[in-house]
Amino acid sequence: MITQQGDVLFHLEKIPEGKFSKIKTNVIQEGEATGHAHRLHDGEYEFIQDTKTKERYLRVVKDSVVRHEEHKPITLPPGDYRIGIVREYDHFDEEVRAVVD
């Protein structure tokens, strides 16, 4: 199951075994050009990163809201989510990269 706000994807899936570090911010993704950001508000959550794979996860304990200047808010119900960023293909550089707004 996927929840999507703009370029950020929340994949509802079990967090794998591993070593994690806490991410001490409510900013999930910040736009380089615009300065706009996907931010967590309210609710109760734990934002963590796998120290080996660098994959980021969100453990939502109580309904949490994600807000962004250009998108309607989304509510994440309790559960474990892997954070993904959408990709694009540059046909002239011939490379895949994360979309940067």
Residues of the shown chain interacting with other proteins in the complex, contacts defined by CB under 8 A:
1-6, 9, 11, 70-75, 84, 86-93, 96, 99
Cβ nearer to other proteins, comparing 15 with 85: 85
Nearest approach, Cβ of residue 71 and other proteins (Å): 4
Residue that has been written with the tokens 């734990």 in this structure:
46
Q: Which is nearer to other proteins, 24 or 91 (CB)?
A: 91
Range 25-33, long-range pairs (CB < 8 A, 24+ positions): 28/56, 28/58, 28/66, 28/83, 29/83, 29/85, 31/100, 31/101, 32/100, 32/101, 33/100, 33/101
Nearer residue to other proteins within complex by CB, 27 or 99: 99
